[in-house]
Amino acid sequence: MFKRILAFLLMFTIIGTVAPSLDNASASGTSYYVKINSGSLNVRKSASTKATVVTKLAKNQEVKVHSQEKGWAKVTANGKQGYVSSQYIAPKTTDKKSSDYHSKAIAAGKQQLGVKYRYGGTTPSGFDCSGFISYSYKKAGVTLPRTAAEMHTKGKKVSKLEPGDLVFYATSGGKKVTHVSMYIGNGQVIHSTTSSGVSITSMNNSYWKARYIGAKRI
């Protein structure tokens, strides 16, 4: 009997030694993405808000998570290893949700085709450019700032456009953002303009092409 008890205790000790913690087992080597609304996420040298920042991560950037404990995740990103707050990362499988709200915003925008332009307008009775984009994204469950210039400060700068990206223009010349539209694919954007109201325009249109500033992914 004594030998059997001793064998059981030895087996329990071995299992307890080699089994990883629940957090480590569920997170090790897993791809996550950064879930922040704006700005960047600090990666710190140790699990403390007072620790040195070793790099910064952009919204939706992929990170490799090694472990999670007490609200902190040990990650590798940008070729460096450090710690981020667990509340600002999520499993990579949520990417589908991201693409869904872009599709919903486009669908909501297309439903307003033909609505007339109205300065300061934010409803289907009349839209200005940013009012139309805010309305479309709000229908998809995403809140955006009120003006085109404020929208330009959000999201991630992109050069290869995907449906749902915000496209910005300087209609007064220079680099000051004064107009925003939404890319819908096939080289086209949907927006509310003073001349045509809510309409679809080719990005190769000579007027808009000359005033293009850049694009952001929300």
* Spans of the chain, pLDDT less than 50: 2-3, 5-27, 94-98
Q: Which two tokens mark 84?
A: 């981020």
pTM of the prediction? 0.57
Question: Do 146 and 210 belong to one domain?
Answer: yes
Q: What pLDDT does 23 receive? A: 41
Residue 102 is among the residues annotated as catalytic for this protein: no
- Which residue of the set 66, 102, 152, 179 is catalytic? 179
pLDDT digits (tens, 9 = 90+) for 139-182: 999 999 999 999 999 999 998 999 999 999 999 888 899 999 99
Question: Do 57 and 151 belong to one domain?
Answer: no
Q: What pLDDT does 22 receive? A: 32
For residue 78, give the DSSP letter.
T
CB 28 within 8 A of CB 67: yes
Instruction: Report the chain's terminal Cα–Cα distance, integer Å.
Output: 66
Q: How far apart are CA 66 and CA 42, in angstroms?
A: 17
For residue 137, give the DSSP letter.
H
Task: Name beta bridge partners: 42.
Answer: 56
CB 167 within 8 A of CB 201: no
Which CATH number goes with the domain that contains 170?
3.90.1720.10
Domain boundary among 41, 62, 93: 93
Count: domains in the chain: 2
Q: Which two tokens mark 53?
A: 């920042």
Residue 179 is among the residues annotated as catalytic for this protein: yes
Tell me which residue range forms the domain holding 60. 21-93
Which CATH number goes with the domain that contains 35?
2.30.30.40
Q: Residue 46: which residues within 8 A CB-CB, separation 6 or more? A: 82, 83
Question: Do 211 and 124 belong to one domain?
Answer: yes
Q: How far apart are CA 190 and CA 188, in angstroms?
A: 7
Residue 129 is among the residues annotated as catalytic for this protein: yes
